[in-house]
Amino acid sequence: MKKGYSEELWFKKQIEKAGGVAVRSPASKGAFDIMAVLNGRVRFFQVKATKKDVYYLNDMAREEWKELSKSVGGYFAVIFKRGKGKRRIVRLVKAEGEPPKKIRIDDGVAWEEAVKFTQKALVGNEG
């Protein structure tokens, strides 16, 4: 099983635990890995994982960001893994504008915060 696939499945389960409905995109070759409905809002997530405190966007990730930024409700969900995969810190960063070169562990919104305040935390400036 590929690393990315297992993280996508883990994140899908987190959405479902939060009361949402999530569907994983087969083969994840498009702009998003997971489409979800959470608190009545459709969201698209590109899931990335790293063991470091910074996730560096390579050329492919930057292209995914650009494609995702065209949709309303597009986010990078970066999973920062801590200690043998037991603890995960998830940060959501809205895909808008030019892609950043990196996403830090304190960038964006924490998953727990986003779930608690979905309508405020994930809406951003969508209007």
pLDDT in tens, the chain (127 residues): 466 788 899 999 999 998 889 999 877 667 899 999 987 888 999 999 999 999 999 999 999 999 999 877 799 999 998 877 568 889 999 999 999 999 999 999 888 887 775 544 444 444 3
**Cα–Cα distance list, 108 to 25, 31, 104 (Å):** 23, 19, 9
The tokens for 10 are 């883990």
| Confidence (pLDDT) at 40 | 83
pLDDT, residue 55, reads 95
Cα 98 to Cα 62, 64, 67, 121: the distances in Å are 8, 11, 11, 21
Query: What is the pLDDT, as a whole number, of residue 122?
Result: 47
Q: From the options 3.10.310.10, 2.40.30.330, 2.60.40.10, 3.40.1350.10, give the CATH code of 3-121.
A: 3.40.1350.10
Spatial separation of the C-alpha atoms in residues 100 and 18, rounded to whole Å: 28
Domain boundaries, the chain: 3-121
Paired with 80 in beta bridges are 50, 89
pLDDT at 1: 41
